Amino acid sequence: MHTYSLSLLLLALPAAAVEIEQRVDALLQRMTLGEKLGQMSQSNALRGGISPEVKAEIRKGRWGSFLNAGSFEDRAEAQRIALKESRLGIPLIFGRDVIHGYRTVFPIPLGQSASWDPELVAQAARIAARETAAMGIQWTFAPMLDIARDPRWGRIAESLGEDPYLASLLGAAMVRGFQGASLDAPDSIAACAKHYVGYGAAEGGRDYNTTWIPEAELRNVYLRSFQAARAAGVATFMSAFNNLNGIPTSGNVFTLRQVLRKEWGFDGFVVSDWNSVTQMIAHGYAGDAAEAAFKALRAGVDMEMNSTSYYDQLKSEVEAGKVDLKLIDEAVRNILRVKMRLGLFDKPVPTAPDNAAMFTAEGREVAKRLATESTVLLKNENRTLPLSKSIGKVAVIGPLADSPVDQMGCWVRDADPSEVRTPLAALKETLGAARVVYAPGLKVSRDVSRAGFAAALEAARAADAVLLFLGEEQSLSGEAHSRAFLDLPGAQEALVEEVARAGKPMVAVILAGRPLTFQKVTERAGAVLFAWHPGSMGGPALADLLFGDAVPSGKLTASFPRTVGQTPVYYNHMSTGRPPVPSDLGIKMGMPKDPAQDTAKYIDVDYTPEYPFGFGLSYTTFEYSNLRLSSPTAPMGGTLTVSAEVANSGAVEAEEIVQLYTRQLAASVTRPVRELKGYRRVRIKPGQKQTVEFTLRTADLAFYNERGQLVTEPGAFQVWVAPNSARGLRGEFRVTE
C-alpha cells in the first residue's frame, strides 16, 4: 500500500483502527522476507507436543500460526517463546476445529439450523468461544457456510442447510457468538467463514469434487451466506478445496480478490484449507509447488495451512523478480491486523487453563435447549407421542440408545464422552431404571449380525411401548465420509421388522449427520423423531420430548429425498418448461404428437421429496387462514405487508415457525419456484389464534442477473405464508416501476 493511500485510509478509520494500522505498518518495515513468509505459514507441528526443533523455529519466526496445537502447556510455551524470545515478538495464533462445541457439545450445525433460532445458535457459539479461549486457543475454523443440497456429501452435517437466507442468518449469529462484542475480549475467538466458496455443490456428493456454478447462481445462492458473515464482522475466511468452474478456489482471483476484497471490502486474512495450495498441482492448475504458491498468493490466500510452498518457494521467486514483494506485504499486513485486533500482542501468556469455564451449568442448559429445538417430528400417527409417564415399562432398543461418541457427531476432538447424557441414561432418570428394558439389538449402526435380535424382541414383548434409537454412527458423516446410499446402514431395518412382531406401539428416534431414507421404519413406527447428532445433552432433550415435558418445534433445513436417486433435491429449484405435478407418476402411453404427459418426473418414484424443506410436526395442530396483503401492488423501493392468521386447533401450547415465501413469475433470468424471505416463531395456546405479519420490501426480491448486477425487476409475484415449503396460503402481487 502506498503512503498516500494509507494516509487516506487512516483518516477514515476510528482511533483504535488507526493505531493498529500504524503498528502493523511499522512492524512490517522491520521484518525480513523470511519472517514475513513465516507469518504466512501455519503448521501442525505441535500436534504431538513442542519439540526442541519447533522451539528453535518459533524463535526465528518460522511460523505465524499452529493448528491442532498440542496441550495447553505446549501452546503457552510456544507463545512465550514467540513473544519473548523471537526477534520481533510477534505472537502466534492457535487455530482449532471448534465446529459445534469445544468441551460442551451442541447439536451438529445441520441440527442447530433446524431450530431456526439465531439467538440460541449465537449463545451456543458464545459458550464454545469461552471454553476454547480458556484453553489458549484464539481461532476456530467455523462457521461452515457452504450451501448443501446433496445429502450424500458427508459435510452436509457441518452445514446450515440448503437455503441461503436462513444460512445467512444463522451463520452471522455464529460469528457474533464466537467473536463477542470485541475480538480482544478474554473470552472471544476469531471466527473463520469456510469453505469459500461453492464446496457444497461437489459433483456426485463426493467430498473435494469439482463444482460448476454459473456466476448468477454463485451470487444468488452460494455467496450470500459468506457475504452475511462478512457483514457480521467475521475475522477470517478459509479458501476451499474444490475446483470452481475450472479454477481451484485457493487460486481463484475472482472470488478472493474481486468479490471478497474489492466488492465486500474484507480486510481480515484468508487461510487456505489443509494443503489446498499444493493440491492445485493435482487439480492440474499448477505445474509445481512454486507455481501453486504464486497462484495462491496472487489470488489472495494470505496464510498457507500445513503445506509449505510459501516458505519454501516464494523467497527465491521474489529474488528472481517473479513475485512482487507487495503481494507478500499485503498478506502479512492482513495477518498482523487480525492478530492485533485479537489483542495478542498485548495479552499476557496464560499460565493455566480456566477449567471453571468448561461444561458449565449454563452450557449444559443451552445444549439441552438447542437439542430440543433442533429435533424434528416427522410422523405422529394417532398421537403416539407424547408417551404418558404413567406407562408401565418401555423397551429401549437400537445401537444409538447408549452411545456417547456417536451422539456427539463429527468434529468433537476436545469433548469428554463421559460427560455425554445418552437417551438410555435420561430415560432411566425419567422413569426409574426398573421401568426401562434395554436391548441394543445391534452393536453399532453398521452391524449386520442378528445375534441380538432375540433379546430385543423379548424386551419389546415385556414392555408397553418400544423406543427405537436408530441412524448413523459418528464415523459415517463429516469430512471425507460421503455415502452413495442413504438408507439406514447395517441390519437396522431388519431389527425394526423383528421388534414389530411384538405388536407394541413403536417410536423411532433417528440420530444422524445427514438426511436419510427410512420409509420401512416410518411404515412400522407410530411416530418418528429426527434428532440429528444432538450433542452432550441429547438424551435429556429427547426424554423431555418423548414424555411431553417439551413439544417439538424443529423444522427441516434440508429436504429429505424419497430415494438416493433423487439427489440433489432441494426446495428452491427452478421450474422447467414441462413441470410435473405430484401425481404425475409412471409410464404414460401417449403419442409423440400429444406430449402432455411428458414432464420433468421420474417414472418409478414421485419427484417430490419425502419431507420438504421447512417441514416439522408438533404435538398440536396449526391451521392457517385469512391471508392478507396490504396492497395488490408495491412500487419499486416500497414495502408490502403480508399477514395470515395461525390458530392452535389442538390441545397443547406450542411454538410454530411460520414461513414466508415468494416467487417471481417472469424475470430476465429464471427464478426459483419458491424462496424463503422471512419467518416468525410464535407460541400459541390451545384454542387461540394469532395474526402473523411480515413486512416485505421490494429490495428483498432482488437477485443477481446474468451480468452480475443486483437488481429488483418489476413484474408479477406469488407469495405464501406457510408451515413449510410445499404448502401454505398463496397470494399474488405486482412490483411496479
Q: What single letter denotes the amino acid at residue 175?
A: V
Q: Give first-to-last CA distance, the chain, whole Å.
A: 43
Residue 643 domain-assigned (yes or no)? yes
- Mean pLDDT in residue range 105-117: 98
The reply to whether 388 and 534 lie within a common domain is yes
Name the average pLDDT for the chain: 96
Whole-number pLDDT of residue 350: 87
- Residue 419 vs residues 390, 539, 721: alpha-carbon distances, Å: 29, 11, 42
Q: In sequence order, which residues have a C-beta less than 8 Å from that of residue 634 and are 6 or more positions away?
A: 640, 696, 698, 733, 734, 735, 736
pLDDT (tens digit, 9 = 90+) per residue, 55-69?
999 999 999 999 998
Contact 69, 51 (CB under 8 A): no
Q: Write down which residue in 514, 546, 578 finishes a domain.
A: 546
* Alpha-carbon 611 to chain mean position: 20
Q: What angle do CA 252, 253, 259 make, to 5 degrees?
A: 105
Q: What is the CATH number of the domain that holds 705?
A: 2.60.40.10
Domain-ending residue, one of 546, 577, 602: 546
Check if the beta carbon of residue 572 is closer than 8 Å to that of residue 455. no
Task: List the beta bridge partners of residue 436.
Answer: 394
pLDDT in the model for residue 587:
59
pLDDT of residue 173: 98
Mean pLDDT of 299-310: 98
Q: What pLDDT digit, counting tens, does each position of 184-198 carry?
A: 999 999 999 999 999
CA distance 289 to 292: 5
pLDDT at 581: 81
C-alpha cell at 536: 452432550
Contact 66, 58 (CB under 8 A): no
Q: Is 519 left (phi over 0), alpha (psi -120 to 50) or beta?
A: alpha
Residue 6: predicted pLDDT: 43
For 555-579, how does the pLDDT look when each residue is reduced to its tens digit (9 = 90+)?
Answer: 999 999 999 999 999 999 999 999 9
Please state the rounded mean pLDDT for residues 567-592.
Answer: 80
The answer to the question of residue 468 being in a domain is yes
Q: How many residues can be counted in the chain? A: 737
627 and 542 inside one domain: no
390-401: average pLDDT: 98
H or E element that contains 204: none
Domain boundary among the residues 518, 546, 574 is at: 546
Domain of residue 722, residue span = 622-736
648's enclosing H/E stretch is strand 639-648
How much helix, strand and coil, in percent to the nearest 5, is found in the chain? 35, 20, 45
Q: Does a structural domain hold residue 732?
A: yes
Position 595 confidence tier, pLDDT thresholds 50, 70, 90: low
Cis-peptide into 635, omega within 30 deg: no
Same domain, 534 and 646: no
Asked whether residue 395 carries a pLDDT value surpassing 70, the answer given is yes
In this predicted structure, the answer to whether residue 304 has a pLDDT above a threshold of 60 is yes
pLDDT > 90: what percent of the chain? 94
Distances (CA, A) of 199 to 153, 260, 483, 694: 10, 16, 16, 33
CA 285 to CA 292: how far, in whole Å? 8
The predicted model scores a pTM of 0.96
Q: So what's the pLDDT on residue 8? A: 46
Query: Which pLDDT does position 2 carry in this prediction?
Result: 36
CA angle 306, 311, 312 (to 5 degrees): 100
Clarify whether residues 519 and 419 are in a common domain.
yes
Do 373 and 516 have their domain in common?
Answer: yes
**Is residue 539 domain-shared with residue 662, that is, in the same domain?**
no
Does the structure show a pLDDT above 50 at 5? no
For residues 137 and 94, the answer to whether their CB atoms sit within 8 Å is yes
Q: Count of CB atoms within 10 A of residue 231's CB?
A: 12
Task: Give the pLDDT band (50/70/90) at residue 591.
Answer: low
The closest of 282, 291, 237, 280 to 259, measured between CA atoms, is 237
| Distance of alpha carbon 151 from alpha carbon 567, whole angstroms | 7
Q: What pLDDT, on the 0 to 100 scale, is given for residue 509?
A: 99
Whether 147 is in a domain gets the answer no
Nearest to 723 by CA among 651, 628, 644, 634: 644
Catalytic residue among 273, 302, 544, 584: 273
In this structure, the answer to whether residues 420 and 524 fall within a common structural domain is: yes
Kindly state whether residues 398 and 493 are assigned to the same domain: yes
522 shares a domain with 387 = yes
CATH number at residue 499: 3.40.50.1700
pLDDT one-digit tens code per residue, 450-505: 999 999 999 999 999 999 999 999 999 999 999 999 999 999 999 999 999 999 99
- Residue 550: burial class (beta carbons within 10 Å; 0-12, 13-18, 19+): buried
Q: Return the pLDDT at 376.
A: 99
pLDDT one-digit tens code per residue, 317-363 = 999 999 999 999 999 999 999 999 999 999 999 899 999 999 999 99
Same domain for 524 and 658, yes or no, is: no
Is 402 one of the catalytic residues?
no
If you average pLDDT over residues 710-736, what whole number do you get? 98
Q: What percent of the chain has pLDDT over 70?
A: 96
Q: How far is CA 101 from CA 124, 232, 360, 610, 684, in A?
A: 7, 20, 13, 31, 32
What's the rounded Cα separation, in Å, for the pair 621 and 104? 34
**Among candidates 542, 538, 554, 492, which has minimal Cα distance to 518?**
492
Q: Could you report the per-residue pLDDT of 665-709, keeping only the tens digit for each?
A: 999 999 999 999 999 999 999 999 999 999 999 999 999 999 999
Number of domains in the chain: 2
Residues 517 and 632 in one domain: no
Please identify which residue in the block is written with the cell numbers 474481486. 258
Do 704 and 220 touch, CB atoms closer than 8 A? yes
Q: Residue 116's closest CA among 642, 701, 536, 553?
A: 553
Mean pLDDT value of segment 438-452: 98
Taking the C-alpha atoms of residue 113 and residue 120, their distance in angstroms, rounded to an integer, is 10
Based on the fold, state whether residues 417 and 540 are members of the same structural domain: yes
Average pLDDT over residues 659-664: 98
Residue 312 inside a domain? The answer is no
| Helix orientation angle between 118-133 and 361-374, rounded to the nearest 10 degrees | 140
On whether residue 360 sits in a domain, the answer given is: no
Listed in sequence order, the residues at least 6 apart from 384 whose beta carbon sits closer than 8 Å to its beta carbon are: 505, 507, 525, 526, 527
Domain-embedded: residue 308: no
Residue 374 lies in a domain: yes
CA distance 46 to 78: 9
